[in-house]
A and B are shown apart, each in its own frame.
Chain A
Amino acid sequence: MSSPIVNDAARTALADVVVDVRNVHYAFGRRAIFSGLDIVARRGRITAFMGPSGTGKTTLLRLITGQIAPTEGSITVFGQDVTSLRQRELFGLRRRMGMLFQNGALLTDLSVFENVAFPLREHTRLPESLIRQLVLTKLHAVGLRGAANLMPAELSGGMSRRVALARAIVMDPEVLIYDEPFVGLDPISMGVIVRLIRQMNEALGITSIVVSHDVEELAAIAHESFLLSQGKVVASGTPAQLRASNLEVVRQFMEGIADGPVPFHYPAPDYFDQLLSRGPR
């Protein structure tokens, strides 16, 4: 409950670890972002990374996908040490992963169809007819087959994300990473995304990693959650376990309490001193 589930014994007991983050330290300039991070994502499960804004959730994704390297510690994906891979091997690794960006990141010059077909055209030599079938199938899976000829500028936020999801799965990846998929969506669109994430996982067995701070939504779909705060994992477990936790940090996050371990006031000098002094600020 209060101690993270991740220790060596537990690790060896877990047969299928797809992503293994061990004792990772990362600093940006002088700011330490992670100081001793331990996280696992298991095959076929939906793993959630949660935390207050600014804890570096997106940075963690970039570490896992090999865009940046940790100053200390190791990151293992599919059994390979990501930091030691060369460009070509890294690209090979990424072909087995799909990533859904916060704003969809569709290529603005291409139509919806062309966007979804992009990975196929770049990495395979499939005939045009086969590409067409694959693209339409994936678009159908996300419910946007009819929008195949629209341009990204004509799509709403929720539709963009669904097209991006179709694009992320067109090469049948083993891992799907969702970066803040619920941000800025209306309740209906949010319901659609939640359903799609669950479907991808259940129907296709795709290992999913979801980064978010939407406690409600994650509670509905995550098998295992890691709560990050101040550069470390402060709690992990199933959503039910987290909700039952007694840790103040966890309570504040799960219930949305304004003041607690994450303070309400940004660090400032004493209030009365400042008001009464005649200084410039």
Chain B
Amino acid sequence: MRPNRALEIGTGLFVLLGFAALFFLTTQLPGSGLSLGTESGFRVTAKFDNVGDLKGGSPVSMAGVTVGRVESVGFDPNDFRAIVTMRIAPEYDRIPVDSDASIQTQGLLGGKYVGLGPGGSETYLKEGGQIEFTQSAIVLETLVNKFFANFSSRGSDGGDSDKASSDVAAKEDAK
């Protein structure tokens, strides 16, 4: 083919654009991947009875603001609890050591994240610290099972279903 400068420049631009897009997609999107610039910050751990489907890359937030990320979720075979390792951004270096960590859900169907509630201590979390007060994830199935278990135990007391349901309703109102 005839060497055509405009054509070669055009192709070069296209290929460059394509690779830039690929680069963006592979590095900027995945949380647990080759993300740039999230290796700063300090590591903190917390143990939970149940982490639900919390995974690496999930956000760690405080007062609704994302202050860090879950780095990994492991298992402690000694006390059968889950160990969540989090990386907190370096600017948040004044989180009290007695803060609590709970696993919450974003919206009704969203993913899990770790929410931190502030404690009152004057000592702050730093690299290698561990959060003592934790609250596990609320797993939907367990909740439903509990509800039905409650419900049917009421029925076997001898009351009719009307009474049982009004009892439940009364309990709900009392909450």
Contacts and interface: CB of A to CB of B under 8 A. Distances in A.
Contacts of A111: 2
Contacts of B1: 109-110
5 contacts: A109-B1, A110-B1, A110-B2, A111-B2, A114-B2
Contacts of A110: 1-2
A114 B1 CA distance: 8
A111 B2 CA distance: 8
Please tell me the size bucket of the interface on A.
Answer: under 10
Interface of A: 109-111, 114
A114 B2 CA distance: 8
Interface string B1-22: 1100000000000000000000
A109 B2 CA distance: 9
Interface of B: 1-2
A115 to B, nearest CB: 12
A111 B1 CA distance: 9
A117 to B, nearest CB: 11
A231 B142 CA distance: 88
A101 B63 CA distance: 81
A271 to B, nearest CB: 60
A43 B1 CA distance: 37
B118 to A, nearest CB: 71
Nearest to B1: A109
A112 to B, nearest CB: 12
Nearest to A111: B2
B2 to A, nearest CB: 7
Contacts of B2: 110-111, 114
A110 B2 CA distance: 7
Contacts of A114: 2
A221 B2 CA distance: 39
5 tightest A-B contacts by CB? A109-B1, A114-B2, A111-B2, A110-B1, A110-B2
A54 B2 CA distance: 40
B85 to A, nearest CB: 60
B3 to A, nearest CB: 11
A188 B84 CA distance: 91
Nearest to A151: B2
Contacts of A109: 1
A110 B1 CA distance: 7
A109 B7 CA distance: 14
A116 to B, nearest CB: 14
B1 to A, nearest CB: 6
A33 B2 CA distance: 43
A109 to B, nearest CB: 6
A149 to B, nearest CB: 10
